[in-house]
Amino acid sequence: MRELGTLIAIDGPSASGKSSVARGVAQELGFIYVDSGALYRGVTWLALESGLDGSDEAAVMQVVDAVAWRFFVEAGAVVFSIDEVRPGEALRGKAVREAVSRFAALPRVRSFVVSRLRSHAQLGSLVIEGRDIGSAVFPDTPLKFYLDADERERAMRRHRELMAAGESEKAEEVLLSLKRRDKMDAARVHDPLRVPVGAVRIDSTSLNLKEVIEVVINRVLEC
Ligand code: DC
């Protein structure tokens, strides 16, 4: 069996800056970037396209199991297709954004995603970001980080991202939606969002992206 590479787990709540930090760390170290939330979004997109609302787990798994999921590395990141279709920007759209926490709470959806994520370790050294990477997906990795920032700061960052993407949500709505998702992610029974045992906590409220990336890389190089 091929020896597994280094695994860096970066967890944290919505808009804590995980994606940008994980991408930056991966680029700097020449590792592969993995966005685990994209897979939950992929399942959600597929289920919504099939007319499901997440209330019937068996029906969701039926559509998930009926399609071909293909994973490949493109520009330093793991990407996937579903029956040869790349859902692309739809994964970031409002319909998926509003529904994803509901689908991510389904235990069989979680098992499906966790097993796919674990198999990514065969691809090489990874920087993988999500909500349960250090606690449930790769609990044995010594390189765990938990990124957080003040709730208002996170909502402002998310609002700026949405405006840049041409969406017109009000700042207050963004804050409410973020609170709702954080609550669901932390309250779900299976692998809730929490600080993994042994994780380095980073509060990025008053740090810029470069500074957070530096904290992570320095720690990785120390280990
Ligand atoms: O990081 P994101 O916003 O793309 O995550 C989408 C949803 O998936 C969010 O509700 C949390 C959930 N998620 C999860 O439960 N576990 C992960 N490892 C990644 C995301």
pLDDT value for 192: 87
Judge whether residue 168 has pLDDT over 90: no
Q: State if pTM tops 0.95.
A: no
The two most distant CA atoms of the chain are separated, in Å, by: 51
* Helices 57-66 & 107-119 angle (0-180, nearest 10): 30
Over residues 48-73, mean pLDDT: 97
In a domain, 44, yes or no: yes
Number of domains, the chain: 1
In a domain, 150, yes or no: yes
Percentages (nearest 5) of helix, strand, coil residues in the chain: 55, 15, 30
Cβ atoms of 99 and 48 closer than 8 Å? yes
Cα of 188 to ligand 1 centre, how many Å?
A: 12
| Residue having the nearest C-alpha atom to atom 6 of ligand 1 | 37
In a domain, 162, yes or no: yes
Ligand 1, atom nearest to 129 Cα: 18
Give the three-class secondary structure for 12: coil
Judge whether residue 134 has pLDDT over 60: yes
Over residues 44-62, mean pLDDT: 97
pLDDT band at 21 (very low <50, low <70, confident <90, very high): very high
Judge whether residue 111 has pLDDT over 50: yes
- CA dist 69 and 113 (Å) reads 11
Q: Residue 93 sits in which domain range?
A: 7-218
pLDDT value for 117: 98
Cα of 146 to ligand 1 centre, how many Å?
A: 14
| Residue having the nearest C-alpha atom to atom 8 of ligand 1 | 37
> Best substitution site from 92, 100, 194 to test ligand 1's pocket, by max atoms within 8 Å of Cβ?
100
pLDDT value for 125: 97
Please work out whether the CB of residue 135 comes within 6 Å of at least one atom of ligand 1.
no
Q: What is the tens place of the pLDDT at every residue in 76-110?
A: 999 999 999 999 889 998 899 889 989 999 999 99
In a domain, 158, yes or no: yes
pLDDT value for 2: 47
Lowest mean pLDDT segment, chosen from 1-15, 25-39, 156-170:
1-15
Neighbours of 134 (CB within 10 A): 29
Residue 88 CB burial class (10 angstroms; 0-12, 13-18, ≥19): exposed
> Best substitution site from 19, 20, 40 to test ligand 1's pocket, by max atoms within 8 Å of Cβ?
40
In a domain, 137, yes or no: yes
Judge whether residue 173 has pLDDT over 50: yes
Cα of 1 to ligand 1 centre, how many Å?
A: 30
pLDDT value for 66: 98
- Determine which helix (DSSP H) or strand (DSSP E) holds 129, and give its type and residue range: strand 126-130
pLDDT band at 1 (very low <50, low <70, confident <90, very high): very low
Judge whether residue 221 has pLDDT over 50: yes
Please work out whether the CB of residue 60 comes within 6 Å of at least one atom of ligand 1.
no
Judge whether residue 3 has pLDDT over 70: no
Over residues 179-189, mean pLDDT: 87
In a domain, 124, yes or no: yes
In a domain, 2, yes or no: no
pLDDT value for 167: 83
Please work out whether the CB of residue 41 comes within 6 Å of at least one atom of ligand 1.
yes
Over residues 65-73, mean pLDDT: 97
CATH number at residue 127: 3.40.50.300
pLDDT band at 165 (very low <50, low <70, confident <90, very high): confident
In a domain, 223, yes or no: no
pLDDT value for 8: 98
Please work out whether the CB of residue 188 comes within 6 Å of at least one atom of ligand 1.
no
